[in-house]
Structure 1
């Protein structure tokens, strides 16, 4: 299941990260930790950071720099109105696909 899971996750990781941020604001390492707690153990931190840059550039999150006890300030990401809209679209699309896949799995019924 490894390679297939990786390929499928590439198409859904943005939605997964937006869903994590919908729960509460977080910084990059914290998001990676939450992903791993949810069973996405193979996701590299670099993948998450690259995704955060993209969603920030697309205006889906607000970013606040917060002082850190260990090193430079952290960028804390929070979902904004546009991000919430994108997340809702993700869930609609996910539901559509899940329903169709389940129909196929049951033999088209």
Structure 2
């Protein structure tokens, strides 16, 4: 099942931050990393990715810089300290939320006991 941008609404920003956790990437590489990590389920158009990157940059969560590769200019992005903190916070919140939803759906007590 492929997800579209509407399904990811509210989650796209943190997913993009996660693709930058291992270091800087240019826009297409971010899109490709998201597609690879999701086994192709999050194959989003550039018209969805780039506005989100611009929003994250305006919020100070990522920073961008221009470079030249193969004669073409491209913009690479990396997490700022604020972006790293937001990613850390969002990951913790997501894990708690996912565990709670799983407990409700599977009718198991939360937190799950090993």
TM-score (norm 1): 0.86
TM-score (norm 2): 0.82
The runs of 4+ residues in structure 1 deviating greater than 3 Å are 5-8
Deviations 1:23-82 (A, max 9, x none): 1100111111111212234311111101000000000112111112142x2111010100
Pair 1:20 & 2:50 matched: no
Q: Give the distance between the partners of 2:7 and 2:100, measured in 1 at CA.
A: 16
Q: Give the distance between the partners of 1:93 and 1:12, measured in 2 at CA.
A: 12
- Number of equivalenced pairs: 106
Pair 1:33 & 2:36 matched: no
Compare the two structures and name the one with the higher helix fraction: 1
RMSD: 1.7
Match in the other structure for 1:102:
102
Verify the 8 A CA contact 2:24 2:79 in the aligned structure 1. Answer: yes
Match in the other structure for 2:53:
52
